[in-house]
A and B are shown apart, each in its own frame.
Chain A
Amino acid sequence: MPEQEPNTIEKKEYQSTQSLFRRLRESSFKIITILFGLVLAAFIVILLIGVVTHTTPQALIESILSGEIQFAIRLSLITSVISTAFCIIVSVPAAYALARYDFPGRNIINTLLDIPLALPPLVAGVALLILFGTTSFGKGLADAGIKIVFTPLGIILAQFFVNMPFMFRVLRSTFQGINPRYEYVAQTLGSTEAGAFWRVTLPMARNGLMAGSIITWCRGIGEFGAALMVAGSTRMQTETLPISLYLNMSCGELPLAIASATILIVISLVSLFIFEKFSGFTRVF
């Protein structure tokens, strides 16, 4: 019908402008959200570059090669590796038990093991200091030659206590993701329960173990609050990289502070990269 034609065309035009508008609105939403992401990312990059370029490259290298920073690097590496090893040794059986077995108090233990994660590190440090510094238990240990307070041992303990939940959580979710029937089959093939765990479950948990170790180690290197409380901040004695950063910042030795910060940034970035690579197979939270 001829009378209706202009009407239809008008309608079509109206619809097409309408849909263009809608598309624009949709894409403007898209653009805005992406912008937020970009701004955040740029902010982080600018911050990090700001630290690294604060001094001249020469001063940076000189500081890194200085005796104090060398000591801090060594102490940080040693304490973090040892505390990570302890985290592995303790978390593997605990995470396995809580992933596999149903026993009374299981939920309570799960919650308790997460507490250090939620606790401010300073508070964790104070708690450790009180136990190992003031009680007869701590004094007994000190008398037996195991001095925790104001020693590198205290740093290891602080790192272990604060970072254990990370290792525990990664491992628990890793073990939960492994069907127990693998172990059942291994047991019908002559393995004991421990043998099946050792020959089947643990190798299958390799990626989770790697991811957990990396994140625990990385956090150990950066551990400050709890370590400061337990081990103090004695130059060239309990001076890890973060402690060194703190000491040199507070007495105005900016190049040394920047050196520590730069090394910590590099370690974090590398760890993050490795963690992402392995954690594709596990969920942390």
Chain B
Amino acid sequence: MVRVENISKNLGEFFLKDVSLHVDDGEYFMILGPTGAGKTILLETIAGIYPPDNGRVYLNNHDITRLPPRKRNIGMVYQDYMLFPHLTVKKNIRYGAKSTNLSKQEISQKVNELADMLNISNLLHRYPGTLSGGEKQRIAIARALIMDPEVLLLDEPLSALDNETKAKLRKELRKIHTLTSTTMVHVTHSFDEAFLLGSRMAIMNQGEIVQMGKPNDVFRKPNCKFAAEFLGVTNVFRGKSIVDNGIAYIDIDGLKVISTDRKDGQVYLSIRPEDILLSLKPLESSARNSFQGKVQEISDAGVIIRITVDIGVPFVAAITRNSFLDMGLKEDMVVFLTFKSADVHVF
């Protein structure tokens, strides 16, 4: 188990501010954040590259804050692979085995096993310079895994790859995680990756962790404006909330929205576009929020079409292409938006 307690580190351009998190054994933990959020320094601090200015790092309840990287048994994989260009693929993978007390046969066997698992057996005698990004990243992962690391840190391992390779390697990472049950900490700026791989995730911004939890929960209930916007939740509004009788009445520039999230005063609220029903006539339903408005913009994103409707403020609803065609929606048409008060998330 990795536990980070109140870590601060200032490297000028990049910094960490009082970061705490814990990752359980065998967990696949995602750290999500924009460029410059301090994700890489966090990983490098866990790996022991820099001593933190403040705070402590624990591995299996041992304080490793002052331990040099080589004594931590924590593996590191960078976005740019960092394969040693002067060594063959085989020697790259074998690099770390020198400091273990494995025999030559055991090392060769291990190299072959890892190469098999990662489908790079045919590359062992090549030099890294001529390989593709996906191949390089597999080698970098194999090189880290030969140490049997307690924890594997992955710094945007898929960001430099094309979409097809990305999807392939993502499955591969999941497979490695299942096969080796290594604890993984994976940094990314892509929500898809976080959602598809992570059992839990943290969102980072400006050197701080702003939210932590299961991807589903974080996605449904971002706890601040940054998290909501970063996760791509489109309908985020600021309003004034008055709680009465267990229900919040929120005023957004004159528009009154009802929510079951009870929070008073100045609040942000978000509604996922998928949770909004769009209809040509007013709906008789149990949903408490229903508004009339004009279609302002139609943006075609393939199967899903996003319709911006002005109901005093612009709301985005997402509907399928089929219902879009059935309804014959056009700009300036009058439509109705309906959503449940339970889907209005207030923070």
Contacts and interface: CB of A to CB of B under 8 A. Distances in A.
Interface of A: 179, 181-182, 184-192, 199-200, 203-204, 206
Given A181-B78, A181-B80, A188 B86 contact: no
B96 to A, nearest CB: 3
Contacts of A182: 82, 84
Interface of B: 44, 47-49, 68-70, 72, 74-76, 78, 80, 82, 84-86, 95-96, 98-100, 143-144, 147
B68 A192 contact: yes
A181 B82 contact: yes
A179 B84 CA distance: 11
B47 A190 contact: no
B69 A187 contact: yes
Contact of A187 (B68, B80, B98, B100): B68
A179 B68 CA distance: 19
Contact of B86 (A186, A187, A189, A206): A206
A188 B99 contact: no
A182 B80 CA distance: 10
A204 B86 contact: yes
A188 B69 contact: yes
Contacts of A188: 47-48, 69-70, 72, 74-76, 96, 144, 147
Nearest to A184: B49
B86 A190 contact: no
Contacts of B48: 187-188
Contacts of B95: 186, 189, 199
A203 B87 CA distance: 9
6 contacts: A184-B49, A184-B76, A187-B69, A188-B70, A190-B98, A204-B86
B32 to A, nearest CB: 21
Contacts of A200: 84
A189 B143 contact: yes
Interface centre among A179, A184, A190, A192 (most CB of B within 10 A): A190
Contacts of A179: 80, 82
A192 B86 CA distance: 19
Contacts of A189: 70, 75, 95-96, 99, 143-144, 147
Contacts of A184: 44, 47, 49, 69, 76, 82
A182 B82 CA distance: 6
A-B CB proximity, top 4 nearest: A190-B99, A189-B96, A187-B69, A188-B76
Nearest to B70: A190
Nearest to A204: B86
A186 B49 CA distance: 11
A29 to B, nearest CB: 41
Given A189-B75, A189-B95, 10 more contacts: A182-B82, A186-B84, A187-B49, A189-B70, A189-B99, A189-B143, A189-B147, A190-B98, A190-B99, A192-B70
Nearest to A190: B99
A191 B86 contact: no
Nearest to B99: A190
A225 B76 CA distance: 53
B220 to A, nearest CB: 36
A181 B75 CA distance: 13
Contacts of B75: 188-189
A206 B85 CA distance: 12
B70 A185 contact: no
Contacts of B70: 187-192
